[in-house]
Structure 1
């Protein structure tokens, strides 16, 4: 599998292999990358928003890709500059002007780097809102002070990559469908002092998948139902069972495509072993064709 577009490489969440240092592991655990599909003058584009958290504070970056592997713009707000939690940046691009506005001065955060409420992040292209995140939408439109219609900022949330950590339980929030319900995803796996580990995945506290004899089934895939719609779950826990203490497991949740399209894509997405190589370009392309949403979770064991 290939990575997300190269222009997001610096700020994209990278997969660490079993030889990674503990500092790299801890750094990876404090990054979330979200990908949105939007349009610039009717042409499809990807907007990638990465949230980071360090000892210096919160940080973020925004990148816009025109789908031909050309990075139109990239804005990075480093943690040590984040004392000023509101502001804007303007960038001239070939076809116009891109403005990024943000206000996180009243933002509330959970344990991760992604803000939960009390914020906005807006991307505007030639006075047209192409992305609007957060619950302070009215404040964002006042700040933009243009004729842009915020209802037009119908960017679709198509992919998310997140690092989670724990000892036996690992949790994350997942919105499998754009504007759908937010679900609690829990992964349970105890590999310490257990001869026959078992992998259990729950959604909203309901067990949807259980894998026994995990040493024989450390990689695989299984279809579960979420809101009555099939979601394909891929897992690779090889590093947990056979790697060193710094290894991570990888889980991919993908809303299923229609049967005829699944057959066409089967060669590129059905190999769970390839999960360890990074987030898939094929998954990114499938999202843009309306195939659904992908969530990649990198699960690290606490030292």
Structure 2
């Protein structure tokens, strides 16, 4: 078997930084098509306090036809999980605070969703804040809390602010054959529009083709998707190497699932090897690698699949476990693309 790195070629395609301001103006999406809807979003943050103590916080937003929820889990202790869930109409009016019991830290969560604005997904886009205090230190701030509110309610001259890094983001989508999202792959980079589309070469989806676009330009186009259901591509974006991996096997062959996994993961440096060949955990590593995972339930494609295929929802999986068990062991080809 060939070494994984040898699967990559030296060819490159330059892609500009033009941005899609909205789905309707995105040249990758037909105006008659509506992108799939996000059902849940989970973000994993690494919080480093001034004492060098580190805490991993998982923030999850979810929504269905009637209910909406927010949960924050700290570490692996289930007793330190904060949950907020109710009918969608009441969820959007909620604000308050809660003290989380922990044997190792004093954790307080403050939130205000009363003026939050949403797009299609469960995650608010503006007009809200969620703030986490850890041992009287500001550990995590989400949303657009004003400096006046921050100073008046939470911050004093002696209050420390922790260092926060976004380690990974997971999105669960369903409904259509188009998945659109936005992502920033480094703190100094711009926000990029990502579109994943599955369409047929002919009428219908009997000969599906997988296309991935970043800022309106094609990154990959995979024909004969029934056979090329797993693969990888490497792109250069914001001065970073980013590994793009896809696994759509379950869209076609797994009767117990029916969802695909798409993964974008940054490497630690331009001279680094493919990230899966590096150590998954490096305690002394200063630079945090970021990964974006998209779980896609393709209901339209499943309608054309054999009737034995199921449409169950994806499990709430850890990103490392998903990448190892679903995507990484199966590589078909690999190329470099400059963005």
TM-score when scaled to structure 2? 0.67
SS at match of 2:252: helix
Q: Between Structure 1 and Structure 2, whose CA radius of gyration is higher? A: 2
| 2:173–2:295 Cα contact (<8 Å) kept | yes
Structure 2 match to 1:200: 211
> Judging changes above 3 Å, is the alpha-carbon distance between structure 1 residues 96 and 232 closer, same or farther for their aligned structure 2 residues?
closer
How far does the alpha carbon of each residue in 1:200-229 deviate from its partner, in whole angstroms, 9 at most, with x for none?
110111111222232221101110122232
Q: Structure 1 segments of 4 or more deviating over 6 A?
A: none
Q: CA RMSD in A?
A: 2.9
Structure 2 match to 1:50: 60
SS at match of 1:116: coil
Q: Where does structure 1 lack aligned partners over 5 or more consecutive residues?
A: 1-27, 269-281
Q: Where does structure 2 lack aligned partners over 5 or more consecutive residues?
A: 1-36, 301-339
For 1:211-226, list aligned pairs within 5 A: 211-226=222-237
Structure 2 match to 1:177: 186
Whole-Å separation in 2 of the counterparts to 1:200 and 1:245: 25
How far does the alpha carbon of each residue in 1:114-160 deviate from its partner, in whole angstroms, 9 at most, with x for none?
0100111110012210101111142244332555647x243111100
> Judging changes above 3 Å, is the alpha-carbon distance between structure 1 residues 249 and 296 closer, same or farther for their aligned structure 2 residues?
same
Structure 1 match to 2:80: 73
Shift of 1:267: 7.9
Structure 1 match to 2:337: none
Structure 1 match to 2:127: 118
Structure 2 match to 1:186: 195
How far does the alpha carbon of each residue in 1:91-123 deviate from its partner, in whole angstroms, 9 at most, with x for none?
242344211000010000110000100111110
Whole-Å separation in 1 of the counterparts to 2:183 and 2:152: 30
Q: Which protein is richer in helix relative to its size?
A: 1
Choose which of 288, 293, 297 in structure 1 pairs with 2:294.
297
TM-score when scaled to structure 1? 0.74
- 2:31 is aligned with 1:31: no
Whole-Å separation in 2 of the counterparts to 1:297 and 1:286: 25
Structure 2 match to 1:144: 154
Whole-Å separation in 2 of the counterparts to 1:199 and 1:287: 37
